[in-house]
Amino acid sequence: MRIVIAGGSRFSVDAAQSLLKRGIGNVTLVIEDKDDAMKASTELPKVTVVNASPSKPEVLSELDLDKCDVFVSATKTEEISILAGLYAKEHNVRRIYVKTTKEDTKMILAKLGMKAIDISESAANSIVLDIAEPLIYDLVGIGKGPLDIREKEVNDYPNLIGKIMGEVRGKFFNVISIYQEGKFYLAADTAIKENSSLIVLEESGQDEKVDKDLKKK
């Protein structure tokens, strides 16, 4: 998978770093500010960093967007982000993400087959999940999927202490991991201890029913 990210914000660097951790190594960052570009090159030696303005057609034309799978347009100026995204669309990039805060623009981007994004630092992992694991994102993406992942303190359910993880399941949920003693455990025969946390995969909108069910186990 080949990915181009236009913009030198912390979001862009974090997104590139997260993609590398997921085994996606063909990532290019386009950063206009020279100092930011040099810093990104130092932080991410395995990422190709281009020190140029993504607002210039000659720069975009050198990126071989016809061979690009994903284009993330997250520059400091929203208008430039939109124009760069449109340029990528003209070059048949399959998946395009564009920074915008305007609701009307989000609707237009959706109709054009592009995704509007929030580039706050906390958004980087969400976008990376959508890029790298789209089916998982569709399933449990924050505020959008049919399932939610929730963290529940075992001390709120003292009846569970001493049981094994595989025994704790219900109509609307499954416990997929336990965090205790500083580690995550996945084995079904893991004993649930006091002061630990349950990582629960549950049907969206059913949290109250899940809580009631957990208290009956």
Residue 118's pLDDT band, with cuts at 50, 70 and 90, is: confident
Q: Residue 101: what pLDDT?
A: 86
Mean pLDDT across 22-29: 90
More confident residue, 69 or 125: 69
Question: What separation, in Å, do the N-terminal and C-terminal C-alpha atoms of the chain show?
Answer: 45
**Residues above pLDDT 70, as percent of the chain:** 95
Q: Residue 125: what pLDDT?
A: 76
Mean pLDDT across 176-187: 94
Neighbours of 186 (CB within 10 A): 10
Residue 39's pLDDT band, with cuts at 50, 70 and 90, is: very high
Cα distances (angstroms) measured from residue 45 to each of 27, 42, 71:
11, 6, 20
Mean pLDDT across 12-25: 89
pTM of this structure: 0.71
- Measuring CA to CA, which residue among 43, 55, 52 is closest to residue 16? 43
Cα–Cα distance between 136 and 194 in angstroms, integer?
A: 31
Residue 144's pLDDT band, with cuts at 50, 70 and 90, is: low
Q: Which two tokens stand for residue 99?
A: 């920074």
Q: Which domains does the chain have, with CATH numbers?
A: 2-140 (3.40.50.720), 147-216 (3.30.70.1450)
Contact 148, 204 (CB under 8 A): yes
Residue 89: alpha-carbon gap to chain centroid: 22
∠ CA 159-165-169, rounded to 5°: 80
Mean pLDDT across 104-131: 84
Q: Residue 143: what pLDDT?
A: 59
